Structure 1
Amino acid sequence: MASLGRLAVLVGLIAAVAGVVTQLVGLRRKRPDLLRLAGQWALVTLFASAVAALVMEWAILTDNFSFEYVARNSTTTTPLLYKVATLWGALEGSILLWVLILAGYIVAVGWRFRSRLDDPLVAWAMLTLFVIAGFFFLLLTGPADPFNTLAAAPADGRGLNPLLQNHPLMAVHPVMLYLGYVGFSVPFSFAIAALVTGRLGEGWLLETRTWTVLAWGFLTTGIVLGAWWSYEVLGWGGYWAWDPVENSSLLPWLTSTAYLHSVVVQERRGMLRIWNLSLLLSTFALTILGTFLTRSGVLRSVHEFSQSNIGIYLLTFFGLVVIVSLALIAWRGEQLTSPGSVGSPVSREGSFLVNNLLFAAFALVVLLGTVFPLLIEAINGDRLAVGSPYFDRMTGPIGLALLFLMGMSPLLSWRRTSGESLREKTLGPAWVGAIFLMVAVAVGARGWMSLVAFALAGFVVGSAGRTLLLGVRRRGIAGFTGRNGGGMVAHIGIALLAVGFVASQSYSNESEVRLNNGQTVEVAGHSIEFLGRTDTSQPGREITSVRIRVDGNEIHEPAITQFATFGTPIATPSVDVSLIDDVYLSVLDVESEDGSVLMRVIVRPMIAWLWIGGLTISLGSILAVIPVRGRVVAVSDSSNEPPADGSPDDDEPLEPETEPATV
């Protein structure tokens, strides 16, 4: 079995290298027949990676502990769902999943452009994708080989970290993150292709728009699911701790979000060409940097994988990506000159420019806070961590400014906005913001930053709602689709997420209470009644459940689980959920001689809106990739600018037809 897995990895590596060679030869000798072979090599890489993944999955499901990976990360008593998820639960398997998803993307790109595989732009993009695939296949042949075997197979394995076996989201969250991470390799490859071929007009942006939005949507969903998983599993009642692994996923999200906004300016005005290429290239580079940080063991994290020598390979690849990207931008510098300019700061392009500067500042703050401990350790050997106070203090004002621009930008016209037009357009959204503020004050919200955040969230909802209403009036239900409609739905999601974040962070109440059997206490207006405990034995684990009734209604059973292969017991919280607040119940101690239990009870206001907002953002990303039929935006002639202030198009950017213009 291990030999079959290794053979599949080797075949995948050979196919990736063959893809690179045939593309290079085909481009150099102008051989369309060789360039069209890219589709076949892509299928081979997908087949090989799928076989390798199936071999590993079969070894896990059949408890084949002769595989070192299986012995370290699975047991005979691991539930089926978590056995399936064990494939990506540790370092080597996660790289195998990366390769499988990347091969799927390469095949999808080959299919999408099957009639244009001999186009130099597509050929260079496929070549770049094969290079990336070759690198990760190479990792699987050496430093991240998942098919190492043991001379003597143990009777049972050690199993995954218990925290990875404590919630079904283990089967979904990492996959979503990887679909996002790896998905950015497609627009990255087309950016490289555009630089190499010199086809730097706006056409290639339309070719990659859907791929970029899809990757962004997957990454967004993965981040939100990760926060939800943390909230449900870790027992401390939080969902975001500015942990290095969390930050590693946030960094490419910030740069890609900036790109999705600034690329509109390039498509409409021919501006920001160097900036957009830099954002796109940086986004992919940050996914590689994040992979290095989380899989090399160089940073302390509650999510970290075991230390491995894979770090030097990832760091080298990251360096090559950065160097090649910078070199190509420098080489094409003269061709990247933007013909347009910002005529007025009070314009849509002006607001997008400020938006991008804020996103860049946000990313820089997070990057510095994440890598600073690594730099200090490299200098003097001291290990330290930068905590939440730094991130909260530095990112809070930036977040408020971004919320303001999120509400204001859709109300601004291209090139310039008259004062009268601005007053008319902002009146409705401003009233919505005022209503949000008044409701927040009425329910007891205090603190100027929190109140400003509530007001701005309402302003965003009003602004996005106004834009959606205009779109629906013009196109019916199709007004919710396309980049504009889907983007406004995502804006509403971010506003809801902001409300949930601010309320749950600023006004939560946490208590530790000891309860005797039958005793009831009140915490932040909620009654907590202890009804008893239950001890249960399951294969590989002992579970002590505590029965708690909240507000005289639903009975919850938070628990402590002792795994046979791990010494530290793991708490399994239970949450009483409502749109008003959550009552978070976590068991701290059940060993009292008098039969009492020590509970952590956390009341978090409006946190459900954080998850609702996250799902709304994901819905927006889906709606954004649904094609809009109608008018076509010019993609290469920068003189084709939108009408001046006051035209109907000021409220809704032009959308391309289903098939983007050919580059």
Structure 2
Amino acid sequence: MATFGSFALIAALALAAYNLLAGTFALRLIATGGQARISPERLADTARRAGIASFVAVTCAAFALIWSVFTNDFSIAYVLEHSNRALPAAYKFSAMWSGQEGSLLLWAWLLAGYGFVLRLTHKNDVKLYAYAGTILAGIQVFFLSLLNFAAPPFSLLPGYVPGITPLPDDGNGLNPLLQYPEMVIHPPMLYLGYVGFSVPFAFALGALMMRYPGEKWIRITRVWTMVTWTFLTCGIFLGMHWAYAVLGWGGYWGWDPVENASFMPWLAATAFLHSVMMQEKRGMMKSWNVWLIFITFMLTIVGTLLTRAGLVSSVHAFAQSSIGTWFYIFLGQILLVCLFTFILQKDHLKSDHQIESLVSRESSFLFNNLVLLLACFVILLGTFFPILSEYVQDHKVTIGAPYYNAVAIPIGLFLLFLTGVGPLLPWRSASLKAIRRNFVIPVIALWGMVIVALVAGVRPWKDGEFQTGTFYALIAFALAAAVLTAIVSEFLRGAGVIAKQTGKNLFASLVLLTRRNTRRYGGYLIHIGLVIAIIGFAGTAFNRNVEQEMGLHSKMHIGPYDLECLGFSQDSNSNYNSEFALLDVTSNGKPVKVLTTSGFTNLQMTPEKRVYLASQQPQTMVAIHSVPEWDLYVVYEGINQDTGQPIIKAILNPLVGWIWFGWIVIVIGSIVALVPSITPSTAALKIPASATVQAAAGQSALKGGD
């Protein structure tokens, strides 16, 4: 199977190289009107077919690696290093992306898959898709070259001779951190986002090269960006939940360099998805949008570099290797191509209009973009500061969470403010009367929340000292109330108009309103999801924790809960040994009830510590009880060797569940935004004569656009 996989990768590289060279030559002939023995159109089509065939070849290579893992082929060094016989079947898939070579193969396979879809849909715009497909082929050549020459996944064990050299009885096993259900889907989701930004990049660069007329390319690019942004969002939130449930420290985001590497392209892509509306609606920010796409793609390459070059220390990073040099060269080439093409074609990117007023939707989008890019720069600086400091001072100076929190939290709160302001401002300029009418209710909601929070005990001062975290939480709650009020008002205003026109109930009117403009109202749902998640983030300011030894029938008190140790024990299977405690949970003296398959039962929590046999590495399995107000988070820290008693740590994390619920709303909103709006013919409404006046007053809620 190793021979088959290696041959498939060589074939994939040859096909991608032909796609690149033949596609480039064909497009050059078409652009200059040159002649060749074969027509340029025919040559371009053979290049497209080679690109499709390269996907088949990479798929064969991916299948060969997975097959080798499932059949325990320990003659392949990668399989020996990242799998073992007792590894559960689901985690054998995870072995593909657990190491350097396998994760690069996943990158190449997903990239070929995106290219496959693009090349099959080429008839949407043959020339633009030919440019995009050729650029994608260039990216494929880079990653397939890595797999063939720098990080081959099918390398045999050193000195291994088939039939002569004995093979190890078992492998070293999968990293315990990856042996968790979410890790079967988190890395592929993250990679679907990372890799997917290659497609918007290819369209943007191709459209600029061919001086594409009109704005059709930006609409195509927006859809691809929205899809990949959604995948990356899912990847980030799944990674947060994994860190929360597995690492045992009670948090979900530690500003780890690799976490930052996924967050930076997300910020840049979010900026593009907002500013693209200005180009579609007003013909503005054309150069800005092109560079946002270029920057987003380059940040994905930077993120991939961070995990592979050993530049930073991270629980997510692969071992240090010389492969980083390849990425430096590739990143430099991308930057040079983007700069050269932009300078050559910049006269094609002149804006049709200028911002007419600082109080307008255009201005809110511009401020939104600037703040998002500022956040991206701050995170980039913090991530690379240890590298820069080592270069200047010969020793690394690491920047921790306090730096990021000090700058990122105010930036995030300002973005939350802009999220509420944007929908309330009209295009071009806003009158004082319109501002007063649109903002009065959100402002009331803001101050109402401040009063409620203060009464509930959320106060920025304690024992005469100012509490920065509580202050930020208070601002977050107040802004969240204002933003949610503003967005809900937009929904209700439009639904009210439809209800008067059709006689439908409010819910049916909301559905019809959303279907008539899925992009706009799907975007509002995404904003609602982000606001809900931010409410969850604000709960961090009120965390509490207790740690103590717990013998038999010992008790621990935290918040409204009492935990009693009913015992501790050990267990083992073919994959790992484990130690765990059994804890009974009561609240205010009464048993806590939870719903199970057998009905409501008393809550018992079993935090666990595992040691995996193949790797002899430990792993924490956290016990979590979630309710809307908070999470009860319990960690088994191990045995005190002096007393023989387990050490238990309990953390009360307020509002964490809101983060995961917010993520679900974001995904729903993204799906809604990607669904085409119903056409005017299918959305036709029978408007009674008596409703004409009311309909005219609410027309802005029904118009297309954002």
On whether the aligned pair clears a TM of 0.5, the verdict is yes
Residues 365 and 651 of structure 1: CA distance in aligned 2, closer, same or farther (over 3 Å): farther
2:611 paired residue number: 562
Residues 649 and 259 of structure 1: CA distance in aligned 2, closer, same or farther (over 3 Å): farther
1:585 paired residue number: 634
2:536 paired residue number: 500
Q: Match of 1:521, SS?
A: strand
Tell whether 2:133 aligns with 1:126. yes
2:513 paired residue number: 479
Residues 200 and 244 of structure 1: CA distance in aligned 2, closer, same or farther (over 3 Å): farther
Of 307, 319, 324, the residue aligned with 2:337 is 324
Q: Which whole-Å CA distance do the structure 2 matches of 1:499 and 1:441 have between them?
A: 16
1:274 partner amino acid:
S
2:178 partner amino acid:
L
1:501 partner amino acid:
F
1:149 paired residue number: 156
Q: Which whole-Å CA distance do the structure 1 matches of 2:194 and 2:670 have between them?
A: 16
Of 672, 690, 693, the residue aligned with 1:623 is 672
2:526 partner amino acid:
A
Of 167, 190, 207, the residue aligned with 2:203 is 190
Structure 2 length as normaliser, TM-score? 0.87
Q: What does the per-residue CA deviation read over 1:420-466, in whole Å, with 9 as the maximum and x for residues that have no partner?
A: 11121123333443444344334322332211111111122112222
Residues 603 and 346 of structure 1: CA distance in aligned 2, closer, same or farther (over 3 Å): same
Q: How far apart are residue 622 of structure 1 and its match?
A: 1.1
Decide whether the 8 Å contact of 2:275 with 2:289 is kept in 1: yes
Residues 560 and 489 of structure 1: CA distance in aligned 2, closer, same or farther (over 3 Å): same
Of 454, 470, 473, the residue aligned with 1:450 is 473
Tell whether 2:85 aligns with 1:72. no
Q: What does the per-residue CA deviation read over 1:488-512, in whole Å, with 9 as the maximum and x for residues that have no partner?
A: 0000000000000011x20000111
Tell whether 2:17 aligns with 1:40. no
Of 234, 240, 259, the residue aligned with 2:247 is 234
Q: Which whole-Å CA distance do the structure 1 matches of 2:625 and 2:279 have between them?
A: 47
Decide whether the 8 Å contact of 1:39 with 1:107 is kept in 2: no
Q: Which whole-Å CA distance do the structure 2 matches of 1:588 and 1:209 have between them?
A: 47
1:597 paired residue number: 646
Question: Which deviates more from structure 2 when the two are superposed, residues 16-25 or residues 57-66?
Answer: 16-25
1:637 paired residue number: none
Of 45, 58, 64, the residue aligned with 1:49 is 58
Larger radius of gyration: 2
Q: Which whole-Å CA distance do the structure 2 matches of 1:521 and 1:630 have between them?
A: 61
Residues 269 and 446 of structure 1: CA distance in aligned 2, closer, same or farther (over 3 Å): same
Q: Which whole-Å CA distance do the structure 1 matches of 2:494 and 2:319 have between them?
A: 51
Residues 258 and 652 of structure 1: CA distance in aligned 2, closer, same or farther (over 3 Å): farther
2:256 partner amino acid:
D
Q: Which whole-Å CA distance do the structure 1 matches of 2:311 and 2:655 have between them?
A: 36
Q: Percent identity?
A: 37
2:91 paired residue number: 82
Question: Which deviates more from structure 2 when the two are superposed, residues 259-268 or residues 431-440?
Answer: 431-440
1:94 paired residue number: 103
Unaligned ranges ≥5, structure 1: 633-645, 657-663
2:148 partner amino acid:
T
Tell whether 2:475 aligns with 1:462. no
1:160 paired residue number: 174
Q: Match of 2:635, SS?
A: strand
Q: Which whole-Å CA distance do the structure 2 matches of 1:479 and 1:219 have between them?
A: 28
Tell whether 2:576 aligns with 1:527. no
Q: What does the per-residue CA deviation read over 1:202-233, in whole Å, with 9 as the maximum and x for residues that have no partner?
A: 22101222111001000011101100000000
Decide whether the 8 Å contact of 1:560 with 1:570 is kept in 2: yes
Q: Which whole-Å CA distance do the structure 2 matches of 1:560 and 1:587 have between them?
A: 6
1:19 paired residue number: 19
1:105 partner amino acid:
Y
Residues 423 and 403 of structure 1: CA distance in aligned 2, closer, same or farther (over 3 Å): same
Q: How far apart are residue 367 of structure 1 and its match?
A: 0.3
1:641 paired residue number: none
Q: Which whole-Å CA distance do the structure 2 matches of 1:84 and 1:62 have between them?
A: 12
Decide whether the 8 Å contact of 1:471 with 1:485 is kept in 2: no
Q: How far apart are residue 379 of structure 1 and its match?
A: 3.3
Residues 595 and 531 of structure 1: CA distance in aligned 2, closer, same or farther (over 3 Å): farther
Q: Match of 2:677, SS?
A: coil
Q: What does the per-residue CA deviation read over 1:173-192, in whole Å, with 9 as the maximum and x for residues that have no partner?
A: 10111111111111100110
Q: What does the per-residue CA deviation read over 1:501-560, in whole Å, with 9 as the maximum and x for residues that have no partner?
A: 011x20000111221211222112211111111211111311111111222331111101
Decide whether the 8 Å contact of 2:550 with 2:646 is kept in 1: yes
- The structure showing larger relative contact order (alpha-carbon pairs under 8 Å, at least 6 residues apart) is 1
Computed over aligned residues only, the root mean square deviation of the Cα atoms, in angstroms, reads 1.9
2:362 paired residue number: 349
Q: What does the per-residue CA deviation read over 1:46-83, in whole Å, with 9 as the maximum and x for residues that have no partner?
A: 11111101100011111111110011111111111111
Q: Which whole-Å CA distance do the structure 2 matches of 1:60 and 1:10 have between them?
A: 21
* Structure 1 runs of 4+ with >6 Å offset: none
Structure 1 length as normaliser, TM-score? 0.93
1:55 partner amino acid:
A
Decide whether the 8 Å contact of 1:56 with 1:87 is kept in 2: yes
1:477 partner amino acid:
V
Q: Which whole-Å CA distance do the structure 1 matches of 2:605 and 2:55 have between them?
A: 45
Decide whether the 8 Å contact of 1:219 with 1:253 is kept in 2: yes
Decide whether the 8 Å contact of 1:255 with 1:359 is kept in 2: yes
Q: How far apart are residue 132 of structure 1 and its match?
A: 0.7
Q: Match of 2:150, SS?
A: coil
Q: Match of 1:512, SS?
A: strand
Aligned residues: 639
Residues 629 and 289 of structure 1: CA distance in aligned 2, closer, same or farther (over 3 Å): same
Q: Which whole-Å CA distance do the structure 2 matches of 1:406 and 1:246 have between them?
A: 24
Q: How far apart are residue 331 of structure 1 and its match?
A: 1.6
2:313 partner amino acid:
R
Residues 42 and 579 of structure 1: CA distance in aligned 2, closer, same or farther (over 3 Å): same
Residues 313 and 478 of structure 1: CA distance in aligned 2, closer, same or farther (over 3 Å): farther
Q: How far apart are residue 568 of structure 1 and its match?
A: 4.6
Residues 343 and 630 of structure 1: CA distance in aligned 2, closer, same or farther (over 3 Å): farther
Q: How far apart are residue 467 of structure 1 and its match?
A: 2.4
Q: How far apart are residue 476 of structure 1 and its match?
A: 4.9
Residues 355 and 631 of structure 1: CA distance in aligned 2, closer, same or farther (over 3 Å): farther
Question: Which deviates more from structure 2 when the two are superposed, residues 137-146 or residues 28-37?
Answer: 28-37
Q: Which whole-Å CA distance do the structure 1 matches of 2:475 and 2:642 have between them?
A: 50
Q: What does the per-residue CA deviation read over 1:112-145, in whole Å, with 9 as the maximum and x for residues that have no partner?
A: 233533x2x2211111011111111111101121
The 5-angstrom pairing of residues 189-228 of structure 1 reads 189-199=202-212, 201-228=214-241
Unaligned ranges ≥5, structure 2: 31-39, 461-470, 499-508, 593-602, 682-695
Q: What does the per-residue CA deviation read over 1:232-281, in whole Å, with 9 as the maximum and x for residues that have no partner?
A: 00000110000000000000000000111111011111111111111111
Question: Which deviates more from structure 2 when the two are superposed, residues 566-575 or residues 581-590?
Answer: 566-575
Q: Which whole-Å CA distance do the structure 2 matches of 1:10 and 1:438 have between them?
A: 67
Q: Which whole-Å CA distance do the structure 2 matches of 1:568 and 1:69 have between them?
A: 19
Q: Which whole-Å CA distance do the structure 2 matches of 1:317 and 1:648 have between them?
A: 52
Q: Match of 1:527, SS?
A: strand
Q: How far apart are residue 647 of structure 1 and its match?
A: 8.2
Decide whether the 8 Å contact of 2:578 with 2:609 is kept in 1: yes
Q: How far apart are residue 37 of structure 1 and its match?
A: 3.0
Q: How far apart are residue 480 of structure 1 and its match?
A: 3.1
Q: What does the per-residue CA deviation read over 1:140-178, in whole Å, with 9 as the maximum and x for residues that have no partner?
A: 10112101001153211112221111x101101101111
Q: How far apart are residue 591 of structure 1 and its match?
A: 4.2
Q: Which whole-Å CA distance do the structure 2 matches of 1:520 and 1:28 have between them?
A: 77
Decide whether the 8 Å contact of 2:19 with 2:48 is kept in 1: no
Decide whether the 8 Å contact of 1:376 with 1:382 is kept in 2: yes
Q: How far apart are residue 607 of structure 1 and its match?
A: 0.5
Residues 115 and 363 of structure 1: CA distance in aligned 2, closer, same or farther (over 3 Å): closer
